[in-house]
Amino acid sequence: MPQERGAASNLSSTDSRSASDTQKTLGYDEALERVMSLADFERSSHSPGHSSFHLERIGLLMERLGDPHLCIPTVHIAGTKGKGSTAAMITSVLSAQGYRVGLYTSPHLHSAVERIRVGLEPISREDFAASVERIWPAVDFVASEGGFGGVTTFEALTAMAFDYFRRIDADFQVIEVGLGGRLDATNIVSPEVSVITSISLDHIVTLGDTVEKIAFEKAGIIKRGVPVVVSPQSGEVLAVINRVAREKGAPVVSIGGRVSHKLREADVSGQSFEIRGLSRTYDLWMPLLGDIQLENAATALATLEELRNKGYDISGDSFSKGFREVSWPARFQRLSHEGVEILVDGAHNPYSMKRLVCTIGEFYSSKTAIVVFGALSGHSAKGMLEELAVLSPELVCVRSRHPRSAPSHVIREIASKLGLNIAFETENVGEGTRKAIELSREDDFVLGTGSLSVAAEIIEEIRGMSPELYPYIKPPKITAARTNA
């Protein structure tokens, strides 16, 4: 069991155990190009069939690096909605206790460094470049000698995270699944606790066209004898998870069963709530809004209690401090510009959009929404727009820079068939955001949603941030039957 470190142990550029302690020759831009130029199924317009995914290549890559993924106590999180927020909550509480926590999530909003964090802070560009340089001999070996084809972008980033967390001597690593679970590159860990957040239809081309098929892929992270914490699910999904858990002898902690939550009070700054946990009841506050975040909080708390049951020290004060200080952008995030209130949320499927609309109804029912909307191809733009129709919005149709983003005219055509009021159409999120602000009146607010890439580009526009661009990304070539995203 790792020893408690104390709040002053946050990573810094002068830390004696910093991952940048090796000689570096790569600059950040060169390192970024090297990683992002690999086969990138996350951003490419091409998506391989799931039957072509496998874990042999990432396993070999980890072996060449000395199996760093097995060196640190791990929380492994899969799900369709809420896994990033849940990971952030768990990380924030463990950090409040004084543990050094490595956090690995995807995708990133503004910069690739956001994927690898210590606590909630992204690593530096210098450490990112050093990590690329350290793993690259192994990447080259696997590509030339491994017999499984070239390493993908996601596999390389996953390897970088595991290697980095070992090098800084992390006490815990909180690992978010990239896609699915069963054949995801992260599914080589040996976790202390597995977590499955809310599951709904998403990535149906890759994972399956029913919630049962998708649930089977997510349940693939369940390990023999390892407890699994499960967010509220539909009956069909829960049946699949419970069956897999029984087969593997994994105890199930169901949110809504042994663990429950109750809202006490909420305003636009945050919400206070009660969670009845496995051992006691907690009164907490957090800045993240919406009922879905209460579910995520209960899921995170149950996970932390399972860690405590395994002997890890986590005090009640750390629960309070961790939830109070948690931050996870582009999830009902509030911004303002020239007196106009702007909400951004990365909702990217009909289920998450329905939950977002419900939260908006709680706080903005008297205001008119001007919605800046774009979606990735393969996601249900029609289903999301049907949910947004409840708001009777003025719609600004946009296309983000993401390579898989649907053209704005496609969004407009779908919206027109649904009878939505289309105020503007553009292939540029920044222009769409400026137009939405221009259209807004005193009782209006701007909502940016439909994908995380749309949310990210709105934040960049409002805050004047320079985007991180990847002009060298090209569609991957599938040269072998077995590849991995």
95-108 pLDDT, tens per residue? 999 999 999 999 99
What average pLDDT does the chain have?
Answer: 90
**Closest-CA residue to 229 (of 390, 98, 90, 437):** 90
Question: In the numeric block, which tokens belong to residue 292?
Answer: 């879905």
CA dist., res. 74 & res. 312, Å (int): 12
65-111 pLDDT, tens per residue? 999 999 999 999 999 999 999 999 999 999 999 999 999 999 999 99
The domains located in the chain, with CATH, are: 7-325 (3.40.1190.10), 333-463 (3.90.190.20)
Rounded to the nearest angstrom, the gap between the alpha carbon of residue 390 and the centroid of all alpha carbons in its chain is: 27
The kind and range of the H/E element at 460 are helix 452-463
CA dist., res. 481 & res. 200, Å (int): 29
CB contact at 8 A, 271 and 286: yes
253-308 pLDDT, tens per residue? 999 988 999 999 999 999 999 999 998 999 999 999 999 999 999 999 999 999 99
Reported as a pLDDT band with limits 50, 70 and 90, residue 53 is: low
181-217 pLDDT, tens per residue? 999 999 999 999 999 999 986 544 455 558 899 999 9
CA dist., res. 182 & res. 217, Å (int): 5
- Taking CA 288 as the corner, what is the angle to CA 285 and CA 293, rounded to the nearest 5 degrees? 95
For residues 329-337, give the mean pLDDT. Answer: 95
CB contact at 8 A, 367 and 445: yes
